[in-house]
Amino acid sequence: MIAGSLAKRYARALVEVAASSGELDPVSRELGEFAALLREQRPLRLFFANPSIQRRGKVAVCEQIATKLGVRPLTSSFLRVLLEAGRLGELESVLRAYEGLVDERLGRVKAVVTSAVPLAAETQEQLRQQLQARLGKQVYLETRQDPGLLGGMVTRIGSVLYDGSLKTRLLRLREELVQG
Partner 1 sequence: MARVGGWLRWAAAGCVLAALGLAPALALAAAEGGSEEQGLINLNITILIQVVNLIILILLLSRFLFNPLKKFMADRAAGIERALAEAKVAREAAARAQEEYRAQIVATQREVAALREQAQREVEEERQRLLRASREESQRLVAEAQAAIEAETRRARASLREEVVTLTLAAAERLLGRTLTGEDQKRLAEQYVRDLGGKN
Q: Which residues bind partner 1 (CB under 8 A)?
A: 115-117, 119-120, 123, 126-127, 130-131, 133-134, 147, 150-153, 155, 162, 164, 166-167, 170, 173-174, 177-178, 180
CA–chain centroid gap for 6, Å, is 18
Shortest distance, CB of residue 138 to partner 1, whole angstroms?
17
Q: How far is the CB of 115 from partner 1 (least distance, A)?
A: 7
Minimum CB separation of residue 117 from partner 1 in Å reads: 5
Amino acid (1-letter code) at residue 130: Q
Tell me which residue of 6, 28, 1, 33 sits closest to 17, measured CA to CA: 28
Of residues 64 and 126, the one with the C-beta less far from partner 1: 126
77 vs 145 by CB, closer to partner 1:
145
Q: Give how far Cα 4 sits from Cα of 94, 124, 169, Å.
A: 8, 32, 35
Residues 6+ apart with CB under 8 A from 137: 107, 108, 109
CB-nearer residue toward partner 1: 57 or 147: 147
CB of 102 to partner 1, least distance (A): 25
Rounded CA separation 172/58 (Å): 50
